[in-house]
Amino acid sequence: MEFKAKEIAEILGGVVEGNPEATVTTFARIESGKSGAICFFANPKYEQYVYTSKADIIIVNKSFEPKQPVGATLVKVDDAYAAVATLLEYVNRRKCRRYRGCRSRVRWSAKVGRKVYIGDFAYVGKNAVIGDCTKIYEHVFVGDGVKIGSNCIIYPGVRIYPGMEIGNNVIIHANAVIGSDGFGFAPLEDGTWKKIEHMGHVIIEDDVEIGANTTVDKSQMGCTVIRKGTKLDNLIQIAHNVEVGPNTVIAAQTGIAGSSKIGEHCIIGGQVGIAGHISIADNTSLGAQAGVLGTIKESGKAFMGTPAIPYKDYLRSYAVFKKAGK
């Protein structure tokens, strides 16, 4: 990559303060900026590095007023943190190129868009559809009839079962599994368990990111759905028929049991367990290791503990627990 300050400002809708011809070829953290690098400053505790950084360009908020001389050219934007994400995405898309590994296998009936990267030992099944500028890395399995949108990144070892649907701008990290059977078994009189076939699908909407080794099970009937803008960390289990609302974030090792519905803009901490067939209201926050056993109806509330109770109640209860242990 190579960008001038004026080009970066145009991409980000910002303004240049300094040399508009300043040129960069790499990214760096603000505390380790060097010549030829671009950094960003958003957290006040890192302000000292703005004055000492050797970087040629620093992205800052428009509200930032330097207290000392700054050697770098500043690109001022509304939100420096979001601007860097936008710039990184822009750079990644500029690298878009067509490649098909000689040891990959793409079935003749698959429809592959422009500038698609398919790594060695990847498999793309019959009637699959791959959108423009999508990258399918080595050892990925894309089953028959899978639909993957444009500008997606599917990292090595991902398995996408037949018939699943992936939107645009989706990132799926290594060894995630999309569309495996849900955990459904019927008890029989002799004490054994009969498998319940799962005939449904998984739909991953646009702008979703799914962490490494995360699993999203297909539904028995209908669809398991991860809505637009949701971010899933590593090692998460999403069971059959679950729906996760838009722009929800879920931290590692969380498990959501079958047929539960998670609202939009929820924040779910690590190792949270959510029981099956319940609903979580919009804008709910669940602290780490919370165990949610029943429906949460009121939006905008925070919960913690097992069973999960309102956050302030938990703090009061914890104070009592500490006293009881003395």
Strand pairing partners for 130?
A: 112, 148
> Does residue 201 have an active-site annotation?
no
Please work out, in degrees rounded to the nearest 5, the angle formed at the alpha carbon of residue 213 by the alpha carbons of 207 and 215.
Answer: 70
Other beta carbons within 10 Å of 275: 16
Q: How far is CA 126 from the centre of its chain?
A: 28
CA distance 284 to 157: 33
3-state secondary structure of 22: coil
Of 139, 173, 198, 240, the active-site residue reads 240
Return the H-helix or E-strand segment holding 48.
Answer: helix 47-52
Residue 247 DSSP one-character state: T
Question: Residue type at 46?
Answer: Y
Residues 6+ apart with CB under 8 A from 119: 99, 101, 104, 136, 137, 138, 139, 140, 156
Query: Does the bond joining 69 to the residue before it have cis omega, within 30 degrees of 0?
Result: no
Do 231 and 249 form a contact (C-beta atoms < 8 A)?
yes
In terms of Cβ atoms closer than 10 Å to its own Cβ (0-12, 13-18, 19+), residue 296 is buried
Question: Residue type at 137?
Answer: Y
Crossing angle for the helix pair 5-12 and 80-94, to the nearest 10 degrees: 110
Length of the chain: 326
Catalytic residue annotation = 240
